[in-house]
Structures are given as structure tokens and as C-alpha cells.
Structure 1
Amino acid sequence: MTLVKTLTSDAEYKALLADADSKKLVVIDWTASWCGPCKMIKPAFAELSTKFRPPTSQIAILFFSLQETAQAAGVSAMPTFHFFKAGTKIAEMKGANKSQLEQLVKQHQGPADESAAGLSGHSDLTEFITASQLECLNENARRGVRNAFTKDGGYLESDVDEQLIIVVPFGQNVKLHSIKIVPADVATAPKTIKTYVNRPSTISFEETDSVDPVETMELAEKDLDAIVPLRFVKYQSVHSLTIFVQDNQGGGDVTAIKQIILYGTPVETTKMR
């Protein structure tokens, strides 16, 4: 039996969010009767309501006929799924991707993540990274780049000097909002990093002097293990991100990174119009 709650008014929508406690995930499906992808994912959405049942999660459906409510919520595509904790939107998904939807529910159920506060609906994009195609120049053979995109306790380490070129491919286009670099220790943590988007081939260390980056960031010690905003407008349709680590905090010959987390949203797939 489905536990999906159908909301029919703006008042019901606001009441649902107001009643939600900090430990309960609320998922809102913005849908429309004329939307084919909405119909396709509807059974999967209903299935999630029984798989992740209250009090851990609450699944709700809200029809796009409430246009003013949808507009106020910033909905611009069908279907759109909004994820809330304690009345605050913590993630968003656009499109009818069943596996992605379930992964987001798994990711966000349970206590709210205080470290992700202020992300305005953006979430951890690790699941969208094609791990088998991760690439890194000057990585230590025993401490490779995959360590930086898992939580298994390993870390990425440079080899002959402090510089690294890391290529992060995504399985679908994404919008990047911010980055978090978890250091192995402060002295070996990155200091100056440059980013490049959608490179047709891997940039070389020599080319970093002549090719203009999308963004150059000087990380202070306070920026380590913290969410650092990117210039969001520059990362609106990213299928590959290159990160050039130019130097490190201590000025030594070894750079080490425990984890890299990229936050953002998948690019929308179905437009309202």
C-alpha cells in the first residue's frame, strides 16, 4: 500500500514542511498530468514511500496545478523532486531517474547534515562521478585518485613534486555550486588550485601556464574541510572538471588529499514548456 500523501493546496504544503522534525526527510514530487516522464516515475516514487516509511522519511506528491506555490518554490521543470529537513530544502533533483531518486533518499534520510547548511538545494555529487574514468597526473601509485572520492580511510598523494592534475568525469551534466577538500593534514593540503571545465583532453602541467582557468582559488587553512563556494555561473553544464593543484599549505614536495566533495545539482532534463 502506497504511503504517498497528495497535497492539494498551498496551506497543506506549508503545513507538511512546518510539521517535519529535523530527523525526518520530506520528499516533494512536483508533477503534472501532461508530463510523460512524471507518469513514468510515479510507480517508483510510490514504491519509495513504503521502502523508506515514516518516521525516517515522508514521501509526498504535489501537483503543478498549484502554479503560484510551484513558482515560489522555484520549480521550472517536470518532474522536480525537492528534499527537505526541518523545513529547509537540502537537495533537488530534476528528471525521471529512478536510481538517482532512490540514492538521494538514502543519502539524506536520518539526521540533518549541519555541514551542508546554506547549499540552497545543492547536494553531494559523488554518486554522479564516473569513478572508473577518474584520472590524475603525478599521483603516487600506492595512493591514487580514487581514494579522494571515497570514505574508506585512504588518501590521494602526489609523487615527484607537490603538483596534481585531477580529472573528474560525470555520468551526466551537472551544475557545480561548491567544493570541499578534506586534508590528510594541514601542511600537505592544497593551497592554490585552478579549475578547468569540459576539456577535450587532459591538460598538461606545461599548459596550465598558458590556458586560462575557469577559476583560481587561494585556500587558507580555514577553507580546509569546509564548503567553499565556486563561481556558480561558470559551472552550469559540466561533464568534466579538471582540478590543478599548484602548491600546498606547507610549501613541501608532497600534497595529500583525504577527500574531495563536489556539491551541485544534475542539469534538468524535462522543461515545463
Structure 2
Amino acid sequence: GPCQRMAPVFESLSSKYTQAVFLKVDIDQCQEIAAAHGVSAVPTFVFFRAKAKLTTLRGADPATLEAKIQELLSSEPPEGATSEKVHGHVDMSTFLDRSAQECLNESDDHPLAGCLSSGDGYLESDCDEQLIISLGFTQPVKLHSIKFQAPSALGPKTVKLFINQPRTLGFDQAVGMEAVQTLTLTGKDVEEGAVVPLRFVKFQNVQNLQIFVKDNQTGTETTRINYLVIYGSPINTTNMGEFKRVAGKKGESH
């Protein structure tokens, strides 16, 4: 049928346009998602940007589908919509494994969870300025860039990044080991929440990321991070389990 004809086309387009995320949805298995987006016949292609639905395309026409993808990728999002986006990549918070995250030297009053969302909370170190943040992902991912938002005096300065460690590093290990990448942030970087690019080729198959904050901007006793954002994309963009989470809770609309 039409879906079988379009399957290899969809696959090749997902390889060609890597700046977009392609997801397949089985509408028999995911009836709520299908109903929420008005999908009654297949194949139907629904396009989103920044969780907002842009348009819908129906029918098995490869040329029309590719033209629509090109049109949407070339059109700039409205002004203001780009502040939290990195072109072609997504905020990886959706793919964080909440059961596989840990922070060493976090304060009891201001633990790791405080910096993983954009609210009023924040992460603060406890007995000195150093932190080790360990974040596991629910599936292998590619990481593109990272953002630390913090007060300019208290924010991280020297940050060492490690990937795919079997367990959370200790501070002595983190000091002595060679990092996959070391970042040197400025007060302006952390105050403005600058998006800092990673060496993309080094972060292609990441199961977990460990972030060692060695020191802070002004040598204050504790380090603070208001908001930590990691940008990237899942390696397997057709993982149905993840799509359900991306789609939000039952009854939630985007």
C-alpha cells in the first residue's frame, strides 16, 4: 500500500535532512496521538517546530513531501522563537533518564533538579566550588552544544566533559583524567546563557555525560547553576517510547 511505498522514501529523507527529527507513529498503537492531530488516513505527515504544529500533508507523493520539508527548513521561525533553539537540534531534557542522574557536592537545599528546568530553582555546590554532574540518557544520543546560565560571579569557569563512564567519577579522577572536551567559560557566557558548541565528532554515541565543574568565575566559596541545557539529537529518531514522552501527557496539547 501507500505506506509501504513511502517507507523507504521517509527513511532516505531522514538521512538527507539531518537537521530535522523524523518520527514514525503507528496509529493503531498510538490512537490518542492520531486523534489529537486529526490523523484518520495514512500516510499523513505532521510537521512541528518548537512543539508547535505547523502544517499537515496527506498522501504518498515523495516530491511533494520533500518540497514541504525543504520549504519549512528554509523558513526562519518567528522572531523570539529561536532563543531556546539550536538549529537542527533539540533540548535533550526529554531524553534524560531521571533514574540515572547524580550530582556530587550538591547542596541539600539546592540540588541538581533545580538547574534542569527553567524555573526559579538552581543548583548550588555545598562545601567548596567543585561539582560533578552525571546525566544518563534513555537512548544513545549525539550532543551538539551546551548552555550554563548562572550569576556571572558564581557561575562555572573551567568545565571538563566526560562521556560513557561506567560509574560517576570521583573528584580526584575527574582532575586527573583527560576530558573529551574542556570548556573555559567567561562571566558573560554564564550570565547571558551562551550556547557553547561541543566537538560534535567526539559526542556521537553518548549514553551518559559527566560534567566536572573545576572552579567558578571569581573564586567564591560555592558555584551556582541556574539552568543547564544540553542540545543534540537522538541517534534513533524512530523510537516510539520516546515519541510518547515528546508528545506530552495525556490531554496535554502543544
What TM-score does the superposition give when structure 2 sets the normalisation length?
0.68
State how far apart, in whole Å, the 1-side matches of 2:213 and 2:28 are.
43
- Residue 227 of structure 1 aligns with an amino acid whose one-letter code is V
State how far apart, in whole Å, the 2-side matches of 1:112 and 1:85 are.
17
Q: Deviations over 1:229-259 (max 9, x none)?
A: 1111111111110000000001122101111
Alignment-derived partner of residue 196 in structure 1: 162
Where does the alignment leave 5 or more consecutive residues of structure 1 unmatched? 1-26, 32-36, 75-81, 91-109
Residues 1:69 and 1:59: Cα distance change in structure 2 (over 3 Å) = closer
State how far apart, in whole Å, the 2-side matches of 1:229 and 1:164 are.
21
Of residues 200, 214, 219 in structure 2, which corresponds to 1:232?
A: 200
- Please report how far the alpha carbon of residue 169 of structure 1 lies from its aligned counterpart in structure 2 after TM superposition: 1.1
Alignment-derived partner of residue 248 in structure 1: 216
State how far apart, in whole Å, the 1-side matches of 2:21 and 2:196 are.
28
Of residues 57, 60, 63 in structure 1, which corresponds to 2:56?
A: 60
- Please report how far the alpha carbon of residue 126 of structure 1 lies from its aligned counterpart in structure 2 after TM superposition: 0.8
Q: Deviations over 1:133-192 (max 9, x none)?
A: 320111111111111102331111111110000001111111111111110x11110000
- Please report how far the alpha carbon of residue 260 of structure 1 lies from its aligned counterpart in structure 2 after TM superposition: 0.3
- Residue 112 of structure 2 aligns with an amino acid whose one-letter code is V
What TM-score does the superposition give when structure 1 sets the normalisation length?
0.64
Of residues 41, 47, 57 in structure 1, which corresponds to 2:35?
A: 47
- Please report how far the alpha carbon of residue 221 of structure 1 lies from its aligned counterpart in structure 2 after TM superposition: 2.1
SS at match of 2:171: coil
* Percent of pairs with identical residues: 35
- Residue 58 of structure 1 aligns with an amino acid whose one-letter code is L
- Please report how far the alpha carbon of residue 115 of structure 1 lies from its aligned counterpart in structure 2 after TM superposition: 1.6
The answer to whether structure 1 residue 148 and structure 2 residue 136 are counterparts is: no
Alignment-derived partner of residue 96 in structure 1: none
SS at match of 1:178: strand
Work out which structure has the larger RCO, using CA pairs closer than 8 Å and 6 or more positions apart in sequence: 2
Alignment-derived partner of residue 15 in structure 2: none
Q: CA RMSD, aligned part only?
A: 3.8
Contact 1:30 / 1:61 at 8 angstroms: preserved in 2? no
Of residues 158, 175, 179 in structure 2, which corresponds to 1:209?
A: 175
Q: Deviations over 1:73-96 (max 9, x none)?
A: 69xxxxxxx9x58824x7xxxxxx
Give the number of aligned pairs.
208
State how far apart, in whole Å, the 2-side matches of 1:167 and 1:194 are.
12
SS at match of 2:37: helix
Residues 1:30 and 1:149: Cα distance change in structure 2 (over 3 Å) = closer
Contact 1:197 / 1:241 at 8 angstroms: preserved in 2? yes
